[in-house]
Amino acid sequence: MTNRRSFLKRASALTLGALFMDGMASKANAAEKNVMAGGPIGLQTYSLGRELSADVPAGLKKIKESGYSYLELAGYRNGNIGQISMADYKKMANDAGLEIISSHLNPTTRDYSRSNFEEIKDFWKKATEDHVKLGVKYMVQPGLPNCNKEEDAQFVGEVFNAAGEITKQAGIQFGYHNHNFEFNRLLPGGTEAISFANRNYRPPQGQPMPKTTEEIFIESTDPSKVIFELDVYWTVMGGQDPVEWINKYADRIQMLHIKDRLILGDSGMMNFEKIFQAFYSRPNRQYFFVEIEDTNSGIQFSRIKASADYLNSRGFVK
Ligand code: MG
């Protein structure tokens, strides 16, 4: 404070213009609070584990106080979110001043085939009826079905299209969320995925580089039915640059998971500045959700608060 006062006094002595003075004073205020103006921030509630489920109404209020405005839920099962009905969860979120935008959920099987296609569609029909009560804009699948060859991923794309058609009829957008295994490469007619960790893989001479599972999902789905939520941390862990993906698939990647190893910014391995620049440069970007795994730590609330403070202090969020 002394420094700021003495600076302002000195600036005044130099007869700087009033406008410039006002600007300097507000910057000094922002620096004192370590907060810059920014837009709304979303949270994936999975981040909090039992710290939230132990007392959902109180936990939701704490999320709001920590700097978040909207949510993506996890934990859909048997028509509830955890033990709470969809309608009750919606009311609790509204009471806390939070909007539920999205929900993560998976069909009960990871093995997709023609023989269980109808069963998977039935899952999405029931889940859509339930999610209408929650009032979400998005239903997002975060779990990777088993894919060993290119044709497997193309078939998964067909199932995603069917899921997207079902949710669309209720006015909800279907999406898919990646981890690192979606950056495995799949051969046509192959028997085993080529791991994303195999950086030295080169196709036989004259053959093209096999596509990643994520590329096949994007290319084999209908843009009007399936969007993608890119988890930027898992993209990096899969050996890929999220900025390249956001730019390359600008029309398909509409949401992000903003994630680091733990608290945002702490590892130094994530270039959030470039990620947000790429995200905001696009016409159809929608929402992003902060996510922090290690959900049994017992200190997740402090981590989500530190992560929101980080985003605000760096001015990334517009
Ligand atoms: Mg994620």
Report strand pairing: 80-81 vs 42-44. Answer: unpaired
Q: Which two tokens stand for residue 42?
A: 């979303």
Distance 177 CA to ligand 1 centre (A): 7
Distance 233 CA to ligand 1 centre (A): 8
* Enclosing H/E stretch for 288: strand 287-291
Q: What local confidence, expressed as pLDDT, does residue 282 receive?
A: 86
* Enclosing H/E stretch for 183: none
Q: What local confidence, expressed as pLDDT, does residue 286 receive?
A: 87
In whole angstroms, give the CA distance from residue 289 to residue 243: 17
74, pLDDT greater than 80: yes
193-206: per-residue pLDDT in tens?
999 999 999 999 99
In whole angstroms, give the CA distance from residue 51 to residue 39: 26
Distance 318 CA to ligand 1 centre (A): 21
Q: What local confidence, expressed as pLDDT, does residue 37 receive?
A: 56
Rounded to 5 degrees, φ, ψ at 116 are: -115, 15
Domain residue extents for the chain:
1-36, 41-313
42-65: per-residue pLDDT in tens?
999 999 999 999 999 999 999 999
Distance 146 CA to ligand 1 centre (A): 18
In whole angstroms, give the CA distance from residue 184 to residue 263: 27
Distance 131 CA to ligand 1 centre (A): 20
* Enclosing H/E stretch for 210: none
The fold for domain 41-313 equals TIM Barrel (3.20.20)
94-141: per-residue pLDDT in tens?
999 999 999 999 999 999 999 999 999 999 999 999 999 999 999 999
Distance 310 CA to ligand 1 centre (A): 18
